[in-house]
Amino acid sequence: MHLAYPAVLSVLLFCTGLYGVLARRNAILVLMSVELMLNAVNLNLVAFDVWLSKAAEETLHSGQALTLFTIAIAAAEIGIGLAIVLAVHRNRGTSDIDKLRDTAEGPADDGPDDDGPGTGTPAAGPAAEKAEATA
């Protein structure tokens, strides 16, 4: 078997995962896309290990060992990632990444207004902002 076939499949998997990470808004779909990218790397590791083992008589199959390590890390990443996504969904009510980013940054604070004293505007504190939001 040629090395080109698994390499092309790996590139397609990686590009699909990259598109999913960049284009998706749901956190669970982003985690699934990261898994696709990791599986593409695993496919490359195994393909190159098999290709290089044909040249050498005694090999350690380090590509396959690294693939097993990567699979274990990916399983732990998915477990922790899903736990975080579920905790955020319980607290915020959404798993939309853009909405979560907006709530993490908070309101934009450009600094104090330079209108000077005596302009007649009341002090804008947290209570005033809350009153405006509920009105």
36 close to 20: Cβ distance less than 8 angstroms: yes
Distance in angstroms (rounded) separating the CA atoms of residues 84 and 132: 33
DSSP H or E segment with residue 19: helix 4-23
pLDDT tens per residue across all 135 residues of the chain: 688 999 999 999 999 999 999 998 888 899 999 999 999 999 999 998 888 877 666 677 788 888 999 999 999 999 999 999 899 889 888 888 887 776 666 555 555 555 555 555 555 555 555 555 555
Distance in angstroms (rounded) separating the CA atoms of residues 8 and 38: 15
